Amino acid sequence: MNIGLFGGTFDPIHRGHLALARAAREHYKLSRILFVPANVPPHKQAQPLSAFPHRYAMTALATAQEKDFAPSLLEAPEEFDAGRAVVKKEKERAAKPNYTIDTVKRLKERFKKADRLFLLMGIDAFADIAKWHQSEELFRECEFVVASRPGFSLADVANALPGKLRPRMEATRPFQKQAATGDLVLSGATIHLLSEVYQPISSTTIRENAAAGKSLGRFVEPAVADYIKKMGLYKSR
């Protein structure tokens, strides 16, 4: 079974996220995609975030119409209780950031031997992948599905890899003008690049529009827009 893991702050989850997930499901025959809101994202600890229950609720609403999509509590705070889904208390999870490598390993404990894990993300996040906690090990644990966008080359993708996995500069130079598409298979790393799913949507813009009372219809699913309005999210930012 092929399983997708899509982590992020999802503050809020938007149509760009869903487009990437749908494309990944189609291209790589994913049987299930787990959307994992982060409780304490390592790279955004200085950024104010909506409370985890709000971000989880928006994720659940956005994915409700897709039978193969599911919100996940893999990185939920220990006190969080969403109906029947009660998170097991783990003291260390309350104090530490949610590192993707830990989430991946926790998820793979449930896998069968033949299962494959695909980690979904946008290319802007991938550009900083070498800075992620235990990034080299992460590439050994799963394959990557990355939503590309104009301005990124195949060489940019290769050069973003952690040092020990990164090809020599002279090897990537011929690909500096080649768009970041297709599959990049290297020793210790497999990256699948999707070029047709890019949508110029940012969560920052959505939050700004919500704060200004503007319509969010072209950015998020109707149920998410209604939730943001009813809960008054982003009004104080």
Predicted confidence at residue 89, as pLDDT, reads: 42
Mean pLDDT of 83-107: 68
Whether residue 108 is predicted with pLDDT greater than 90 in this model: the reply is yes
Residues in a beta bridge with 146:
121, 193
Whether residue 225 is predicted with pLDDT greater than 70 in this model: the reply is yes
Predicted confidence at residue 82, as pLDDT, reads: 54
CB 121: neighbour CB atoms within 10 A?
A: 18
Bond into 12 cis (ω within 30): yes
Confidence of residue 45 (pLDDT cuts 50, 70, 90): low
Confidence of residue 68 (pLDDT cuts 50, 70, 90): very high
What are the structural domains, with CATH classification, of the chain? 2-200 (3.40.50.620)
Mean pLDDT check: name the lowest of 7-11, 81-85, 123-127, 172-176.
81-85
Longest pairwise C-alpha distance within the chain: 55
Amino acid at 234: Y
Residues in a beta bridge with 3:
32, 117
Predicted confidence at residue 90, as pLDDT, reads: 42
Supply 83's token pair: 């109906």
**Cα(45)–Cα(135) distance, integer angstroms:** 19
Whether residue 16 is predicted with pLDDT greater than 90 in this model: the reply is yes
Whether residue 228 is predicted with pLDDT greater than 50 in this model: the reply is yes
**Cα(78)–Cα(91) distance, integer angstroms:** 8
DSSP code, position 47: S
pLDDT in tens, 166-215: 998 888 888 888 888 899 999 899 999 998 888 888 999 999 999 999 99
CA distances from 46 to 42, 49, 75, 186 (A): 9, 9, 18, 34
Predicted confidence at residue 237, as pLDDT, reads: 54
**Cα(175)–Cα(153) distance, integer angstroms:** 7
